[in-house]
Amino acid sequence: PPLRPFSIRLDRSSLELLPAGPVLTRRLSDLEGLFADEAAWRADVDNGDPIVYTVASSPVPETATELPQSITRIRPGDVAGELYFTKGHMHPVAEGEIYLGLEGEGGLLLFDGTDIEFLEITPDRIGYIPPGWAHRSVNVGSNDDYSFLAVYPGGAGHDYGWVLEHGFGARVYAGAAGAELRSYPQPAL
């Protein structure tokens, strides 16, 4: 049945959406094949398999014409210097999406198969993801969680295979003077 209008409260201290919907937890083992250093990734998985991020959705469903929201919280950490990130995906139904920074320091890595963009997302900053750009979030802070609100079209879908095939054209590492974006040779589309 279609939804009736309703409001959602963003609790500023817990950064929860109330009423809450489903919560997804991604551990390091869920990010197989994504970090550059496979051996270091495996060692960290064997040594406790830490939580890398959670995605807490509002009750708005992911169905065509609805506009769901969720809060992603990425823990601080790295695998052999490569900062913790979300799996990243392309929306197969090409539609735009917005992110709003809530806490911590984040990076939004975007790749359209040719061009790379890297946006800094801090509290109260909105990142715009145009249709056709794969996106991945990175916690570039060294001690704190990075959290943001995402609002996206419910019929857009999530293609994770695209990222396994094409990558992001760049990786983000902890450097002496903060996060460092290192681009690598791009696989052919």
- Chain residues 125-164 in contact with ligand 6PG, contact rule CB under 6 A: 135, 137, 150, 152, 158
Closer residue to ligand 6PG, CB minimum distance, 39 or 67:
67
Question: How is 17-64 classified by DSSP, letter by letter?
Answer: EES---EEEEEGGGGTTTSS-HHHHHHHHHTT--EEEEEEE-S--S-T
Closest CB to ligand 6PG among residues 1, 133: 133
**Binding-site string for ligand 6PG from residue 59 to residue 98, where x marks contact by CB under 6 A and - marks none:** -----------x-x-------------xxxx-------x-
Residue with nearest beta carbon to Ni ion? 97
Using an 8 Å Cβ cutoff, are 52 and 75 in contact?
Answer: yes
CA distances, 161 to each of 92, 126, 174 (Å): 11, 27, 26
- State in Å, rounded, how far the first CA of the chain is from the last one: 41
- Under the rule (CB under 5 A), what is the footprint of Ni ion? 97
- Under the rule (CB under 6 A), what is the footprint of ligand 6PG? 55, 70, 72, 86-89, 97, 135, 137, 150, 152, 158
